[in-house]
Amino acid sequence: MAPSTTRRLVSMFGGGRAMLDVDSGELSRETDWDGSREKHARVPGKNGPQPRLTRQRSCKENINHFAAETYLISRLTFTLLRKLGVGYRWISQFLALVCYALLLMPGFLQVAYHYFSSKQVMRSVIYGDMPRNRMDLYLPANIREPKPVLIFVTGGAWIIGYKAWGSFLGLQLAERDIVVASIDYRNFPQGTISDMVKDVSQGISYVVKNIADYGGDPNRIYLMGQSAGAHISACALVDQAIRESGKGDSVAWSISQIKAYFGLSGGYNLMDLVDHFHQRGLSRSVFFSIMEGEQSLRKFSPEVKVLDPSFKDAVLLLPPIILFHGSDDFSIPSDSSKKFADALKKVGARTELILYDGKTHTDLFIHDPLRGGKDDLFEHIVSIIHAGDEEALAKDATAPPRRRLAPEFLIKLASMISPF
């Protein structure tokens, strides 16, 4: 039989496109760098064939992608420097960040290697028309049936967020048969808070409409944000509920498509955080610029919105909300999650607050994963996503402990000088 020539565009990504052969069901990845094609073989599943990656990207592709992404981050960094100017506090924080990254580089390099070389990672899938409307997809090695999906929104103080910051979490969850979509979005000064929320909402819309093409189960989608990403994703979630209650614009995706929301180390009432951030090095003037003026702080505070009586119908549409926070978090105090949880409970929303005693802002998301072994936060997330799936839970129970990626003395030194 002659090979099929009927092929349909499934998605665009940085440097190429994903094409579906209508007759064979084969999903292929074409690049613009060298004309090569990367195939995802279709394997049987309950809801039809599902994609499975069968070839690693070429070295040339990885080098080109790495160079392009490095250029983007460098360009935005220098743009930010021009915006902020030079000051003692900012310089000291920047130097602390550089030293922090150098100390943890042994672990970061291992994660980066897997990020760029793993055949289970689809980098820079395009979900929109604006700059940085990209996402990374982390696919389980064996997709014989649709897998649960976690949409992840990274943190970065609304300034240095980047989709690759979710690579450690994405790679590890993929090992537990969970598809992860790590969404990139415009950061300041490339965009302000309304741009960020719009980007994230559009990314969520892309996932719920297209994730079945990548082996994800559209009926088991979870949303998670970390730090600034928790704030942005919470804004997107609450805004979507308001739209669906009849008090907003058209609906691109439905709240009912999100089974639960995970907020990690987030801040949900901006008015309570202005002075705190100023003392930590994020000046009021810059913070107000990010949030589109002091008068907009209430508009972009999910805690304030859920307490607004005019939005009571919208609050009832929200999925279960689970908030995670370290008790010793100095970047965003754990009171931020406590107050948001109290506000949600007050208006009848389903919510749970999980505090980790003695954990800091970076312990939960960076240091504990680098330590290897058992990670309470990771296991909490996996147990919620796999709840009711006896086969997955049994596999989780026998999963080997994760290996250590950085020496303990380097992690402790890094935590002492961390700017976060």
At residue 5 the predicted structure's pLDDT band, cuts being 50, 70 and 90, is very low
328-363 b/e (C-beta count within 10 Å ≥ 16 → b): ebebbbbebbebbbebbeebebebebebbeebbbbb
From 65, 231, 325, 361, the catalytic residue: 361
Lowest mean pLDDT among 48-62, 229-243, 382-396: 48-62
Lowest mean pLDDT among 186-200, 270-284, 323-337: 270-284
36 is an active site residue: no
Q: In this structure, are residues 140 and 174 in contact, taking their beta carbons and an 8 Å threshold?
A: yes
Tell me, what's the pLDDT at 64? 66
Q: How many CB atoms lie within 10 A of CB 251?
A: 11
Lowest mean pLDDT among 27-31, 69-73, 258-262: 27-31
From 177, 329, 363, 368, the catalytic residue: 329
Left, alpha or beta for 355 (phi > 0: left; psi -120 to 50: alpha)?
Answer: beta
Q: Is the pLDDT of residue 21 over 60?
A: no
Half-sphere exposure of 381 (CA within 13 A, CB side): 32
Domains of the chain: 7-53 (no CATH), 59-417 (3.40.50.1820)
Coil, strand or helix at 52: strand
Tell me, what's the pLDDT at 71? 66
At residue 233 the predicted structure's pLDDT band, cuts being 50, 70 and 90, is very high
- Cα separation, 251 vs 255, in Å, equals 10
The mean per-residue pLDDT over the stretch 91-99 comes to: 81
The mean per-residue pLDDT over the stretch 221-241 comes to: 98
- Of the chain, the percentage scoring pLDDT greater than 70 comes to 77
361 is an active site residue: yes
Which has the higher per-residue pLDDT, 160 or 22? 160
The mean per-residue pLDDT over the stretch 113-140 comes to: 94
Tell me, what's the pLDDT at 189? 87
227 is an active site residue: yes
Q: Is the pLDDT of residue 50 over 50?
A: no
Which has the higher per-residue pLDDT, 251 or 285? 285
Q: Strand pairing of 121-126 and 7-13?
A: antiparallel
Q: Is the pLDDT of residue 33 over 90?
A: no
Tell me, what's the pLDDT at 337? 98
The amino acid at 411:
I
Of all helices (H) and strands (E), which one includes residue 216? strand 216-226
Tell me, what's the pLDDT at 312? 92
Lowest mean pLDDT among 83-97, 100-114, 289-303: 83-97
Tell me, what's the pLDDT at 255? 94
From 11, 167, 227, 418, the catalytic residue: 227
Q: Return the beta strands (E) in 270-412 as ranges.
A: 321-326, 351-356
Computed on alpha carbons and rounded to an integer, the radius of gyration of the chain in Å comes to: 21
Averaged pLDDT of the chain:
84
Q: Is the pLDDT of residue 168 over 60?
A: yes
Coil, strand or helix at 291: coil
The mean per-residue pLDDT over the stretch 144-170 comes to: 94
- Cα separation, 366 vs 305, in Å, equals 31
